[in-house]
C-alpha cells in the first residue's frame, strides 16, 4: 500500500538523489548533493560555512524538511486511534516509515522495529526491560573503552540496581578493540555484551561480526550502538545476527527526537514494557492491564510521528544516492584530512585504527582543543572540541579532550583543505 506521505514524497523529489539514479549511478557528486541541503548555503562570520561536526548531528536534505512539512500541512493527526481520514493517512505514513527502517536494517519483521527518541532511549529500554529483570548479583555486562556515555551509564544504573558488574574491554594505541582481552572477559556470568559499532570519538569501526560470534558461541546476547554506523555503511541485522541494534535519526540526515531500537522478536516478546501509557496496552481495567502486541508494547504515548516520517525520507534519500559512491567519497575525505593534519608539526591524531569511519580526532601539542574550536569557528569551520561524551576514552589516551572533525557525504575536498589551513593558523596564533 502506498500512503499519502509516500506518494507525495515519491512524486516531488528533486535533487542529487534522483539525478544520480536517473543517470544510472553516475559518479558521486558532492557538489550536486550540497544543493539538497539548504542550511549549507549560509555564511558564518562572513565565511562560507564548513560544517565538520557531523558525528554530533547531520544536516537535513530538503526532502526530509519537506516530508515533515507535508505531514503537518496535510496529514497531521494522531495514529492508531482515529477512524477519520487524516488519522488513517497518518497511521499509514508512520507504519510505512517503520517498514523503511526495517528494509534499511534488513530486519525480517516489522514487530522488531521499535521507534524511540534516539539511541540513548533505545539503550535504556534494553537496559531496563531486558537486562535488569535477568541480572543477579555477580552477573556481568561487557562494554568497551570506546563507549559513548549513553552506552555506559544505563548499564551502570542497572548494575547499581541489581548488584551486577560492568566489565570493560581495553583498546590498543590505535583505538582498536583488544579482541583477545574481549574473549577472555566473556565468562559464565556474562549476561550481555553492549558495544559501539563505530566510535563517535575516534571513528574506529569495530569488528562486530567477530564480537557477536564470540558472544553467541557462549550463548550471550549482543547489543550494538549503531548511532555512528548507519550513515556510513550497510547495516544488516540479520547477517550480523545481533540481538539489539540502536540508532538515532538525527545522525542519518533525519530529524532529532526519533530513533530506532531493533530487537529480535523473541527477546522483545519476552520483555516487559519499558514505559506505561496509551498505545502500549491491549486493554486496561483497574484490576488488570494487558500489553499491546509488538512493537506497540514499547511505544507508550503518542510517538514522534513527523519524526518517523522524516527519518524514512532520510533513509530513502540515502538509498537513492547509493552507498558505494558516498562511502568512497567519505573515505577519500578521511584519507586526505588525515594526511593533511599529519603533515602539520605538533598535531597528533588520536584514533588510527585501520578500519575507520570519517571521523578525525586530533590534539595539538600545547593548545587546548577549545581554543582550536574557537579559532576555527571564526573561520566558519565547525568542529567539535571536548570529550565527545566519552570521558573514559579520553582518560585512556591521557587527554582531557580532543578536537574532532567528522565528515559527511556533503563535505568536499576544499573543506578538508580549509580545515588544514585553519589548523595551521591556530598554531600561528599560539606561536
Partner 1 sequence: MSELGDLYQEVILDHNKRPRNFRALPGADHRAVGHNPLCGDRMTIYLKLDGDVVTEVTFEGSGCAISKASASMMTESIKGKTRAQVEALFKKFHGLVTGEPPASGADLGKLVVFSGVSEFPVRVKCATLAWHTLRAALEERTEAVSTE
Ligand X SMILES: Cc1ncc(COP(=O)(O)O)c(C=O)c1O
158 binds ligand X (CB under 6 A): no
* Residue 248 partner contact from partner 1, ligand X, none using kind-dependent CB cut-offs of 5 to 8 Å: ligand X
CA atoms of 277 and 381, how far apart (whole Å): 44
What phi, psi does 113 have (nearest 5°)? -110, 105
From CA 295, how far away is CA 125, in angstroms rounded?
13
Binding residues for ligand X restricted to 240-279, rule: CB under 6 A? 248
Q: What angle do CA 327, 333, 337 make, to 5 degrees?
A: 150
> Residue 210 or residue 370: which is nearer to partner 1 going by CB?
370
Residue in this structure with the C-alpha cell 559464565, named with its chain if needed = 188
Residues 6 or more apart whose Cβ sits within 8 Å of residue 187 = 140
Applying CB under 6 A, which of residues 15, 118, 273, 310 lies at the interface with ligand X?
118
CA distances from 260 to 56, 98, 177, 224 (A): 17, 9, 25, 12
Smallest distance from ligand X to CB 148, Å: 4
The binder of 336, among ligand X, partner 1, none, by C-beta within 5 to 8 A per type, is: none
Q: Which stretch, 56-64, 84-92, 110-118, 361-369, contacts partner 1 (CB under 8 A)?
A: 361-369
Work out whether 429 is an interface residue with partner 1 (CB under 8 A).
yes
Question: Is residue 387 close enough to count as binding partner 1 by CB under 8 A?
Answer: yes
Measured CA to CA, the distance from residue 37 to residue 21 in angstroms comes to 18
Active site residue 389: yes
Least distance from C-beta 119 to ligand X, angstroms?
4
Among 91, 200, 206, 402, binds ligand X (CB under 6 A): 200
CA distance 149 to 32: 36
User: Which CB sits closer to partner 1, 302 or 374?
Assistant: 374
Q: List the one residue from 149, 342, 368, 413 that touches partner 1 (CB under 8 A).
A: 368
**Cell matching residue 150:** 549513553
Rounded alpha-carbon distances, angstroms, from residue 356 to 25, 253, 266, 289, 377: 25, 20, 33, 48, 25
Of the residues 5, 259, 380, 386, which one makes contact with partner 1 according to CB under 8 A? 386
Handedness of CA 273, 276, 277, 281 (dihedral sign): positive
Active-site residue among 300, 344, 382, 389? Answer: 389
Sketch the per residue contact string, 256 through 295, with partner 1: x for CB under 8 A, - otherwise: ----------------------------------------
* C-alpha to C-alpha distance for 395 and 400, rounded to whole angstroms: 7
Nearer to ligand X by C-beta: 63 or 227? 227
Q: Rule CB under 6 A: is residue 104 a binding residue for ligand X?
A: no
Question: Quick one: the chain helix, strand, coil %, rounded to 5?
Answer: 45, 20, 35
| Residue 385 near which of partner 1, ligand X, none (CB within 5-8 Å, type-dependent) | partner 1
Q: Among all residues, which ones are annotated catalytic?
A: 389
By the criterion CB under 8 A, which residues form the site for partner 1? 366-371, 374-375, 378, 385-387, 391, 394, 400-401, 429-430
By the criterion CB under 6 A, which residues form the site for ligand X? 118-120, 148, 150-151, 196, 200, 225, 227-228, 248, 389
Amino acid at each position: 500500500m502506498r500512503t499519502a506521505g509516500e506518494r507525495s514524497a515519491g512524486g516531488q523529489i528533486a535533487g542529487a538523489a534522483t539525478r544520480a539514479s536517473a543517470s544510472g549511478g553516475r559518479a558521486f557528486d558532492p557538489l550536486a548533493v550540497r544543493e539538497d541541503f539548504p542550511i549549507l548555503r549560509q555564511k558564518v562570520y562572513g565565511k562560507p560555512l564548513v560544517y565538520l561536526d557531523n558525528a554530533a548531528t547531520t544536516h537535513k536534505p530538503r526532502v526530509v524538511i519537506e516530508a515533515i512539512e507535508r505531514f503537518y500541512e496535510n496529514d497531521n493527526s494522531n495514529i492508531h486511534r482515529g477512524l477519520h481520514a487524516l488519522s488513517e493517512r497518518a497511521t499509514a505514513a508512520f507504519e510505512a516509515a517503520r517498514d523503511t527502517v526495517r528494509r534499511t536494517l534488513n530486519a525480517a519483521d516489522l514487530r522488531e522495529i521499535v521507534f524511540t527518541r534516539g539511541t540513548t532511549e533505545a539503550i535504556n529500554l534494553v537496559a531496563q526491560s531486558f537486562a535488569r529483570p535477568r541480572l543477579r548479583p555477580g552477573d556481568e555486562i561487557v562494554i568497551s573503552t570506546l563507549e559513548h556515555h549513553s552506552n555506559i551509564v544505563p548499564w551502570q544504573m542497572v548494575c547499581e540496581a541489581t548488584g551486577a558488574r560492568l566489565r570493560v574491554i581495553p583498546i590498543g594505541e590505535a583505538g582498536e578493540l583488544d579482541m583477545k582481552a574481549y574473549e577472555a572477559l566473556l565468562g559464565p556470568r556474562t549476561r550481555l555484551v553492549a558495544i559501539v559499532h563505530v566510535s563517535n570519538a575516534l571513528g574506529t569501526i569495530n569488528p562486530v561480526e567477530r564480537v557477536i560470534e564470540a558472544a553467541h558461541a557462549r550463548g550471550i546476547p549482543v547489543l550494538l550502538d549503531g548511532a555512528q554506523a548507519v550513515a556510513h555503511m550497510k547495516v544488516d541485522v540479520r547477517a550480523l545476527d545481533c540481538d539489539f541494534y540502536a540508532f538515532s535519526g538525527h545522525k542519518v540526515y533525519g530529524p532529532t527526537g526519533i530513533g530506532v531500537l531493533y530487537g529480535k522478536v523473541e527477546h522483545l516478546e519476552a520483555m516487559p514494557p519499558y514505559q506505561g501509557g496509551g498505545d502500549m496496552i491491549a486493554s486496561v481495567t483497574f484490576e488488570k492491564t494487558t500489553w499491546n502486541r509488538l512493537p506497540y508494547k514499547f511505544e507508550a504515548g503518542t510517538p514522534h510521528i513527523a519524526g518517523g516520517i522524516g527519518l524514512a525520507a532520510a533513509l530513502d534519500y540515502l538509498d537513492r544516492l547509493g552507498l558505494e559512491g558516498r562511502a568512497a567519497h567519505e573515505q577519500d575525505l578521511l584519507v586526505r584530512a588525515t594526511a593533511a593534519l599529519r603533515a602539520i608539526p605538533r598535531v597528533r591524531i588520536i584514533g588510527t585504527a585501520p578500519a575507520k569511519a570519517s571521523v578525525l580526532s586530533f590534539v595539538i601539542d600545547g593548545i587546548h582543543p577549545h581554543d582550536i574550536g574557537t579559532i576555527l569557528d571564526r573561520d566558519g569551520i565547525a568542529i567539535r572540541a571536548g570529550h565527545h561524551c566519552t570521558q573514559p576514552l579520553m582518560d585512556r589516551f591521557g587527554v582531557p579532550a580532543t578536537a574532532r572533525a567528522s565528515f559527511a557525504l556533503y563535505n568536499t575536498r576544499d573543506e578538508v583543505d580549509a580545515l588544514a589551513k585553519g589548523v595551521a593558523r591556530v598554531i600561528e596564533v599560539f606561536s
